[in-house]
Every structure is written in C-alpha cells, then in structure tokens.
Amino acid sequence: MTEAQLVEQCLKGNAFAQRRLYDQYSELLMGVCLRYMGSRELAQDVLQEGFIRVFRKLDTYKGEGALGAWIRRIMVNTALEHLRKLKKQEMTADFQEADYLIPEREQTLSGIGAKEIMQLIQQLPVGYRTVLNLYAVEGYNHREIAEQLGISEGTSKSQYSRARNLLKKMLNRQTISAK
C-alpha cells in the first residue's frame, strides 16, 4: 500500500490502515517524544495524544513532503505543548542546580551508545533538554525556538550552550564510571 493509499484509507476510517500507520511510525516517534519528555510514561502520553491529533488532522495533509516528516512535526508540537502545560519546572533552569549535578572532570568520550546518551539527555533540566532537541535534533534556529517557547533568542542560545556543556560533563562522568 502506498503512502497516499494509506492516508486515503485512514481518512475513510479504515481501522486496519490506521493501525498500520501507527505501527509504521510509532517506534520512531516514541524516540522523538522521549527526547522531549523526562520519562517513558510522559513520552507515551505525548505519543498517544500526538497520534490522536494526526488522525484528526490527516485531512489537512496535502501529500507535499514526506508523511513521516508531517507526523513528526505534529509530535514535536504536541510535546512542546505538553511541556508548557506541565509547568513543573520553569523553561529557564536553575543554573546552580544544573551545574552541581555533574562534577568537573575531563575525559574523552568512548564506548557510550545511543541508549545511554538518550538517558543522559532525559536527565537534563527541561529547558535545556527542550532547546537542545529543537536546535540540534529538529534543526530549528534560535529565533524559531524563541517564538515556539516564548523566550528570547539570547535565552535560547544560552540554554543550548549550557545544555551542551552539561551533557559533556555527564558524558565524561559516564565514560569515567564505565572504566
């Protein structure tokens, strides 16, 4: 079944096609959700909510560009909206708290896999994690991130820089403890 046929069948309410669309993209999109949310449970909530939106908005997909990219954008926006609603933590992290999480040690990175890196990213303060994902993974520029999150462009840049530095420290600590 082609992508266009799959979309057409989903729009007709074909449960098999809807399940196929979900199965085709859910694993990849769960990774996207995990990068933004701090826990698997929250990521699963965002994934579920995101797919509900995908099926509700599928009639707006015009076939311009890849379906997966269109769905991914919906997931990212759903995750960002979920983060705004949570309000458990401010988007600007407490810098002193973030700085003492990891001791200062410099080592080279080796032997750390993608799963371990994902776990470390999930430990970043929410503001750091969000900006890091939007900039480094999704490819947004700092102006776009600032608009999305309701922060200044300078805040976006500093959050990204601090996220990178903290992630480096965490990676160094991971490398040291693995030895």
Rounded Cα distance, 54 and 72, in Å: 10
Rounded Cα distance, 111 and 99, in Å: 24
Rounded Cα distance, 5 and 53, in Å: 20
- What pLDDT sits at residue 41? 92
- What pLDDT sits at residue 28? 92
List C-alpha distances in Å: 167 to 16, 21, 121, 136: 42, 34, 7, 13
Q: Domains in the chain, please, with CATH?
A: 3-86 (1.10.1740.10), 95-178 (1.10.10.10)
- What pLDDT sits at residue 110? 52
Percentage of residues in the chain with pLDDT exceeding 70?
A: 83
Where do the H-state alpha helices sit in 37-112?
40-57, 67-86, 95-100
Question: DSSP letter at 150?
Answer: T
- What pLDDT sits at residue 173? 81
Q: In residues, how long is the chain? A: 179
- What pLDDT sits at residue 162? 93
Q: Which residues of 152-174 are buried (b: 16+ CB within 10 A; e: fewer)?
A: eeebbebbbebbeebbebbbbbb
Number of H helices, E strands in the chain: 9, 0
- What pLDDT sits at residue 33? 93
The low-confidence residues of the chain, meaning pLDDT below 70, are 87-111, 175-179
- What pLDDT sits at residue 87? 60
